[in-house]
Chains A and B, each alone.
Chain A
Amino acid sequence: GEDVEQSLFLSVREGDSSVINCTYTDSSSTYLYWYKQEPGAGLQLLTYIFSNMDMKQDQRLTVLLNKKDKHLSLRIADTQTGDSAIYFCAESIASSGSARQLTFGSGTQLTVLP
């Protein structure tokens, strides 16, 4: 399958900005996603970006997309202890027929230090 790559760990101080990076492989991906996994829970969709956009902002979250380099990033402003979680980027890939599936990265464990 396709590889979606992320660094495994990131630590930041409370109040600082966090930037989580991801590289993806399928240039035909229509949407790119960020999922958040809190301790002991399943994944929840955090935000997404449509492939014809360069940037999307949603409150404290900013998603940047560089299609030329196939690079996606998630910036969390004013990071709080409640943001501590694993963050997965995902791309949608072509599957059988017209359906598309998600391929996930390895996840980045974000630790917010007081």
Chain B
Amino acid sequence: EAQVTQNPRYLITVTGKKLTVTCSQNMNHEYMSWYRQDPGLGLRQIYYSMNVEVTDKGDVPEGYKVSRKEKRNFPLILESPSPNQTSLYFCASSLKGGQGRLNEQFFGPGTRLTVL
């Protein structure tokens, strides 16, 4: 089954304790992205990756890191989490897209993170 998986689905942690949220897709997509969803703010992009070893900042990258060593995986790393990073996080993937091409993004089920 074609899908995007994220782990963990739920996480409660404390300020400053490093954590990683994994994301994996089995559709051979070039493009992967991380978003955070907060009430009234919609989805805001944290980081994205156009392909292996190619990553770039989105709209709200502060406090986050990513890596793209393999095409299927795109982990999100919080080196020193803070309470303002409490949010719902989504990973998404798609074909690279381009002018005139449908750019459907496939989303993971989300990770609910609480930082105390």
Contact = CB atoms under 8 A, between A and B. Distances in A.
Interface of A: 1, 4, 6, 8, 30-31, 33, 40-45, 48, 88, 92, 94, 96-102, 104-107
A99 B41 contact: no
Interface of B: 4, 31, 33, 35, 40-43, 45, 48, 50, 56, 59, 90, 92, 96-105, 107-110
A104 B35 CA distance: 10
A96 B56 contact: yes
Given A43-B43, A101-B33, A104-B43, 6 more contacts: A41-B110, A88-B43, A92-B103, A97-B50, A104-B42, A107-B42
The 4 closest A-B pairs by CB, nearest first: A42-B107, A106-B42, A104-B43, A98-B98
A92 B104 CA distance: 10
A99 B90 contact: no
A31 B100 CA distance: 8
A100 B97 contact: yes
Contacts of A100: 97-99, 101, 103
A92 B108 CA distance: 20
6 contacts: A40-B109, A48-B102, A99-B50, A100-B97, A101-B97, A102-B103
A43 B107 contact: yes
Given A98-B99, A100-B103, A42 B50 contact: no
A96 to B, nearest CB: 7
A30 B59 CA distance: 22
A45 B104 contact: yes
A42 B90 contact: yes
B68 to A, nearest CB: 14
Contacts of B90: 42-43
A44 B3 CA distance: 12
A88 B42 contact: yes
